[in-house]
Structure 1
Amino acid sequence: MNKKWIGRAVLYTIAIALLVGAFFSLPYYITKPGMAKELEPIIEVEGGYKEEGSFMLTTVVMGQANIYTYLLAKISEYQEIYPLSAIRAEEESDEEYKVRQLHSMSTSKLAAIEVAYKKANKPISFEYNGVYVLSVMDGMPAMGQLEPGDRIFQVDELNFKSSEEFITYVGDKQAGDTITLYFERNEKEENVTLPLKAFEADQTKVGVGIGLVDDKEIIVDPEVTVETSDIGGPSAGLMFSLEIYNQLVKEDLTKGYNIAGTGTIDVNGTVGRIGGIEQKVIAADKADAEIFFAPNEDGAANSNYLAAVQTAKDIDTKMKIVPINTFEDAITYLEALKQKEE
């Protein structure tokens, strides 16, 4: 009987250890190859032109490590381990990180639309709705009162049109003054009155302790819809801009090829560095992409492009890696591309 109970105790102990190992988070993030996702189904320009080939964004899968995923990443060739500080800002909560990633995607999407419509000589205007709260600082008045994702649309009697207007208005006041913020949370309007406090890092500046980003809508003709509810971060900017532009113009720039890629984009069309380039090359290769656009970073020694070329060599893919500095670089390459033979 004692041996039986001892055996059960050992099994229970092992089961508990396995459970703890699965749910106990380590201070690391693990990334691994994700997928290449065709953009035409998630981007729709009203009355837009169709394409023979496809533009694809590429993703990585990322999550906080537990004991098992950490050990697996250690022995996996294309899984990367990052300390928490390399992913999240100091004192940034998981919720704040998620909100920041979603708003990075939103900003990237707006820039991609602006770049594509300007190139196609289509009209653009903006409608400002206020600012979003990205983060809340510990020890400041907003802590416990505002949350990441709140949309502030009015401060006192001021209906401001940008984060700069908000910051200027608050910055003209003094520590101890109060302001009333009107905001929307979960589709309900609320307000809160808060005192202003000097920032610990700079006693000459006052605020309530929130990080902000503009909430604005871009108005274009024809209308465009970009469904990105399940995608975070800014790295799809370049590929968004190419898909949108391709639907705006009659010439099909895909020329029948499956074209994947990655890279941030700003309103000037500059393509920027992203993380996980090696894993995205693998994702594109698995999706049978024939061409891959990689940020060239003006020929930097450690550019995404060079890392992508090395990965393509390592996995022995026939996919062509193309260096891209700007949106115009990508357009020039595509316009010179020969039509794919059937």
Structure 2
Amino acid sequence: MKKRIYLVAFSIGAIMAVLLTFIKLPYYVTMPGTAQKLDPLVHVKGGDQDDGDFMLTTIRMGRANVISYALAKVRKYYDLYPVEAIKQQGESDEEYTLRQLHMMENSKQTAIAVAYEKAGKPITYKFLGVYVIRVLPDMPASQYLRPGDRIVAVDEKKLQSAEQFIEYVGQKAKGETVKITFERKGKKKTVQLALKPFPENPKRVGIGISLVTDSEIVTNPSVEIKSEEIGGPSAGLMFSLEIYDQLVEEDITKGYTIAGTGTINEKGEVGPIGGISQKIIAADKAGADIFFAPNEKGAEDSNYQEALKTAKDIGTKMKIVPIDTFDDALRYLQTLK
């Protein structure tokens, strides 16, 4: 009898554990991630190797279950976000992941361009096609195209940008067809699609995709960045600093371990990111001496101001430095002894 009771109790416990673990709630939970040295991830051919290190910082994020939701309610620096705050309306998990990875690719290209320009090294661009970020349901493309496909021609006309594709298709009328040539996993395919009005904007017609221009930066010397499965644009500043450090003979780190975060644009301007407090914690645990935080031109609610509060709260000795531009970071590094 006791054995049967124990078996029933065990079964109920196992079922509860499965339910608590695998039932997904309509939230994402974020928490401190890691700080990774960039030297193993970035390789400039013939680049200079130095004593110090630049580090990118990450947060951990995943779909909340009952357990992680409860933990996020009581643990400091664990945050909850509703699904609609993270993903675009109707966006699948695959589309979200591809969007994040493509933002990382753009971030890497911009970082390369900023670093090479500052170091006086040549760069050019090679156009690869139009990259499909999302495919809308119940539209012509939904039966043939997938996120991650690369469109290389429309009606046998080679494309130079996503804007060119949008302009060309936008001039056509409902029911007209376009011949789409695209690549998937190295294989080229062609499909004829009849244009259809967009549900949210019936005056516009299209095939039902969200797309971005896909290009490759060509440099001399060559550079390779292994970002693995890290997504998003927030490592732009730190990538640009690591690349520049390898391009120039001077050790701009002066032997320090320097973590940081922030997007970067073609002008070298640094933009804000999410999860700055969690990244401060990650950098502190990794032993960073200095942390570069987006200053947002001195805004009261800037990443930098939040980083200062978190640094004080956790009692770190890491110095928090406000950064608005790539040149700001270089100027600060020049002051190090």
Category of TM-score, reference length = shorter chain: over 0.9
TM-score between the two structures when normalised by the length of structure 1: 0.96
What's 2:233 paired with?
234
What's 2:162 paired with?
163
Shift of 1:201: 2.7
Q: In structure 1, what is the Cα distance between the partners aligned to 2:16 and 2:188? A: 46
Deviates more, 1:164-173 or 1:91-100: 164-173
Q: In structure 1, what is the Cα distance between the partners aligned to 2:176 and 2:289? A: 60
What whole-Å deviation, never above 9, does each CA across 1:70-92 have from its counterpart, x for those lacking one? 11111111111111111111111
Q: In structure 1, what is the Cα distance between the partners aligned to 2:77 and 2:155? A: 52
Q: In structure 2, what is the Cα distance between the partners aligned to 1:44 and 1:266? A: 21
1:85 correspondence with 2:107? no
Shift of 1:180: 1.6
1:130 correspondence with 2:129? yes
What whole-Å deviation, never above 9, does each CA across 1:55-111 have from its counterpart, x for those lacking one? 000011111111111111111111111111111111111110000000000000000
Q: In structure 2, what is the Cα distance between the partners aligned to 1:193 and 1:293? A: 50
What whole-Å deviation, never above 9, does each CA across 1:8-38 have from its counterpart, x for those lacking one? 2232122112112211111111111111100
Structure 2 SS opposite 1:179: strand
What's 1:68 paired with?
67
Q: For 1:239-250, what aligned pairs fall within 5 Å after superposition? A: 239-250=238-249
Letter of the structure 1 residue corresponding to residue 264 of structure 2: I
Letter of the structure 1 residue corresponding to residue 280 of structure 2: V
Q: For 1:189-268, what aligned pairs fall within 5 Å after superposition? A: 189-268=188-267
Structure 2 SS opposite 1:59: strand
Q: In structure 2, what is the Cα distance between the partners aligned to 1:10 and 1:35? A: 39
Structure 2 SS opposite 1:143: helix
CA RMSD of aligned residues (A): 1.2
Structure 2 SS opposite 1:205: strand
TM-score between the two structures when normalised by the length of structure 2: 0.97
Shift of 1:5: 3.3
Shift of 1:137: 1.4
Deviates more, 1:221-230 or 1:179-188: 179-188
Q: In structure 2, what is the Cα distance between the partners aligned to 1:148 and 1:29? A: 22
Shift of 1:283: 0.5
Whether contact under 8 Å (2:32, 2:77) holds in the other structure is yes
Shift of 1:336: 2.0
Structure 2 SS opposite 1:174: coil
What's 2:318 paired with?
319
What's 1:329 paired with?
328
Any stretches of 5+ residues in structure 1 without a counterpart? none
What whole-Å deviation, never above 9, does each CA across 1:40-66 have from its counterpart, x for those lacking one? 111011111111100000011111111
Q: In structure 1, what is the Cα distance between the partners aligned to 2:191 and 2:228? A: 29
What's 1:177 paired with?
176
Percent of residue pairs bearing the same amino acid type: 56
Q: In structure 1, what is the Cα distance between the partners aligned to 2:285 and 2:28? A: 24
Runs of 4+ that moved beyond 4 A: none
Q: In structure 2, what is the Cα distance between the partners aligned to 1:62 and 1:232? A: 11
